[in-house]
Amino acid sequence: MKKAKHLVRDAAAEILLAGRITHPSVRARDKLTIVTFHRVLPATILGQYPLPGIAVTPEELKRFLEVFQDHYSVGSLYECARLHQSGERSEKPPLAVTFDDGQLDNYLFALPVLNAMNMRASFYVVTDAIESNEVLWHDRIAYAVQRLRQRSESELRTWLADWGVSGDAADPVNAAVAAAKLLDPGERNRHLERLEKIVGAHMRPDWDGMMTWDQLREMQSDGHEIGSHSTSHPILPLVSDQELHQETSHSRRLLEAQLDHEVRSFCYPNGDYDQRVIASVQQAGYEFAVTTRYGINSQNSDPFSLRRVDLQSGYGTNAAGRFRSSGLLLRMSGLLPGMA
């Protein structure tokens, strides 16, 4: 059944592109497209990472960027959003490339691909994580659940039940992360600390980590944009007013002090925001903010709730296992929220 659906989607993608319905010169004309990446990991490492759904390999990234280069005017979020906001039009529609979380692999594996292709991107970083080189809470949960699953299925089911997750969840790692997003930060940390007492803390593998200030300065000198992804990556609508101010304003001030450069755009952690969060981002002095809502942006789109298209490993690959730009462009068109 899944393969049949894949074949139907492949055929639809080819037909829509042949009819120019999903061709960027038509579909993205007068629009702003923003793509989202998180982790960029070689295949040997990707197989070890417990959240592979937010990762691509360097080879996949290069393949995606080649398609972008053919059909779009590619740049950072700030430069593309400013161009789109001004009403000016380039020969090709604008496309901004963004990376969330500030993981070390962005520097090691994404940056060389981008620089080799002379492309500029935006990297949204969590300032506490830069300072401490500590894994973000969703990765801590993922690594801990992965370790517990390897150790004992019965212990895993018991712990998942305590977390409010069904013990027979097909993907316990993602189920646990999703459940954690609904919790108050303090409650989430207490659950996580109890889990790490069972399996051991600091389970991050040697290849993992966060980018440093020196690496971010190097990236900025290469022409890439460094934006804020908050101070500690919380679910912003759940924090107090004081904490919200810290997450939006303090992170911007620290980035500007360390990078000696104005920080103009913000990325909502987990894509969660409300009017109170937007107001805090505006008051902090940012000019644009990006969400995780799927879609492309019109001239009338709110600059503080810009939509993006997330791209994952395997996107654009047809049922036969071959990459086809038609499948990627269907995803990029804003017409296809989910892909199997």
Looking at the structure, tell me whether residues 42 and 122 fall in a common domain.
yes
Q: Is the pLDDT of residue 202 over 70?
A: no
pLDDT band (50, 70, 90) for residue 195: confident
Per-residue confidence (pLDDT) for residue 2, from 0 to 100: 67
Question: Where do the DSSP E strands lie in the chain?
Answer: 33-37, 39-40, 55-56, 73-75, 94-101, 122-125, 225-228, 265-267, 288-294, 306-310
Q: Is the pLDDT of residue 339 over 60?
A: no
Q: Is the pLDDT of residue 340 over 80?
A: no
Looking at the structure, tell me whether residues 150 and 288 fall in a common domain.
no
Looking at the structure, tell me whether residues 56 and 114 fall in a common domain.
yes
Rounded mean pLDDT, 111-134: 96
Per-residue confidence (pLDDT) for residue 159, from 0 to 100: 84
pLDDT band (50, 70, 90) for residue 1: low
In single-letter form, the type of residue at position 313 comes to S
Q: Is the pLDDT of residue 5 over 50?
A: yes
Are 29 and 93 in contact, with CB atoms under 8 Å apart? yes
- How far apart (Å, rounded) are the C-alpha atoms in residues 92 and 29? 8
Q: What is the pLDDT of residues 39-56, one digit of tens each?
A: 999 999 999 999 999 999
Q: Does a structural domain hold residue 337? A: no
Looking at the structure, tell me whether residues 124 and 176 fall in a common domain.
no
Q: Tell me, what CATH number does 70's domain have?
A: 3.20.20.370
Q: Is the pLDDT of residue 184 over 90?
A: no
Q: What is the 3-state secondary structure (H, E, C) of 111-171?
A: HHHHHHCCCCCEEEECHHHHHHCCCCHHHHHHHHHHHHHHHCHHHHHHHHHHHCCCCCCCC
Last residue of a domain, one of 199, 230, 246: 199
Looking at the structure, tell me whether residues 23 and 79 fall in a common domain.
yes
User: Which domain does 182 fall in, by range?
Assistant: 137-199
Any idea which of 17-31, 91-105, 128-142, 325-339 has the lowest mean pLDDT?
Answer: 325-339
Is pLDDT larger for residue 158 or for residue 45? 45
Per-residue confidence (pLDDT) for residue 96, from 0 to 100: 98
Q: Is the pLDDT of residue 168 over 80?
A: no
Per-residue confidence (pLDDT) for residue 30, from 0 to 100: 92
Residue 228's contacts (CB-CB under 8 Å, 6 or more residues apart) are 124, 125, 127, 248, 251, 252, 255, 263, 265, 266, 267, 286
As a whole number, the mean pLDDT across the chain is: 92
pLDDT above 70 covers a percentage of the chain that reads 97
Looking at the structure, tell me whether residues 67 and 164 fall in a common domain.
no
Q: What is the pLDDT of residues 210-257, one digit of tens each?
A: 999 999 999 999 999 999 999 999 999 999 999 999 999 999 999 999
The length of the chain, given as a count of residues: 340
Is pLDDT larger for residue 85 or for residue 4? 85
Q: Does a structural domain hold residue 204? A: no
Calculated CA dihedral for residues 113, 117, 119, 124, nearest 10 degrees: 0
Looking at the structure, tell me whether residues 96 and 176 fall in a common domain.
no
With b for 16 or more beta-carbon neighbours within 10 A and e for fewer, the 18-46 pattern comes to: eeeebbbeebbeebbbbbbbbbbbeeebb
Task: State the greatest distance between any 2 C-alpha atoms of the chain, in Å, as a whole number.
Answer: 60
Q: What is the pLDDT of residues 265-311, one digit of tens each?
A: 999 999 999 999 999 999 999 999 999 999 999 999 999 999 999 99
Domain total in the chain: 2
pLDDT above 90 covers a percentage of the chain that reads 71
Per-residue confidence (pLDDT) for residue 164, from 0 to 100: 81
Is pLDDT larger for residue 12 or for residue 98? 98
Looking at the structure, tell me whether residues 217 and 323 fall in a common domain.
yes
Looking at the structure, tell me whether residues 226 and 104 fall in a common domain.
yes
Six-digit token pair at 125? Answer: 């970083």
Q: Is the pLDDT of residue 34 over 80?
A: yes
